[in-house]
Amino acid sequence: MFAKKAIEIFNQATQDFKKSDDINKLLVNRFDFNENYIEHLLYKKSWIDTIQWAYEDIIRDPDIDPAEALALKRKIDASNQDRTDTVEMLDEYFLEKYKDVKILENATINTESPAWALDRLSILELKIYHMNIEASRNDASNDHKAKCSLKLKVLIQQREDLSQAINELLSEISEGKKYMKTYKQMKMYNDDELNPVLRKNK
């Protein structure tokens, strides 16, 4: 099923990044853009999320240098935009894949598109990855490990539920029982015409 394949790719991207754990490391995608397009996008999505997780950890250091924090905030902003762009490319893939499906009269639209559900799944896999580390960390107390083990069980259940929901959504879209639309995020604060602060500094 599609969700299982996505999870495998998400985990591979995370493991590849963690080999160096270098936030400045450039993405080297395991999948060719032309030959394995969907795999390429899923891998890129998880790579972005994995690095951003590291950014978010670092910026919460209470002793971080303000100049470093500002530079990191700029990286987080750029990463968020890259993440959004990649999700929208994923949705364009699904729109193209199912464009010839005959939509049934009683078809309904989902609360979120397939790609935004996959966005949640990618983040969830990162939570599972890091919570698993915390649940077995040698220098942590038994109480800490026990609490993290309980949280890990919840996250794994969420993975199961979300995976099932994604697979069912894609199946229903392919059968015309559901239809999808994409709404571009239209973020305003990155646009020097829409953000009044950026506009006045042009």
Check: CB of residue 145 under 8 Å from CB of residue 134: yes
Structure confidence at residue 195 (pLDDT): 80
Closest to 183 in 3D by CA, of 119, 80, 111: 111
Q: What are phi and psi of 109, to 5 degrees?
A: -100, 145
Q: How confident is the model at residue 186 (pLDDT cuts 50, 70, 90)?
A: low
Q: Is the pLDDT of residue 45 over 90?
A: yes
Extract the tokens encoding 199: 């506009």
Structure tokens at 161: 């539920």
Q: What count of Cα atoms within 13 Å lies in the side-chain half-sphere of residue 3?
A: 23
pLDDT above 90: percentage of residues in the chain: 87
According to DSSP, residue 104 is labeled P
Q: How far apart are CA 154 and CA 161, in angstroms?
A: 11
CA 78 to chain CA centroid, Å, is: 14
Question: pLDDT tens-digit profile of 55-107?
Answer: 999 999 999 999 999 999 999 999 999 999 999 999 999 999 999 999 999 99
Residue 118 pLDDT > 80: yes
What digits encode the pLDDT tens for the residues 140-179?
A: 999 999 999 999 999 999 999 999 999 999 999 999 999 9
Measured distance CA(74)–CA(70) in Å, rounded: 6
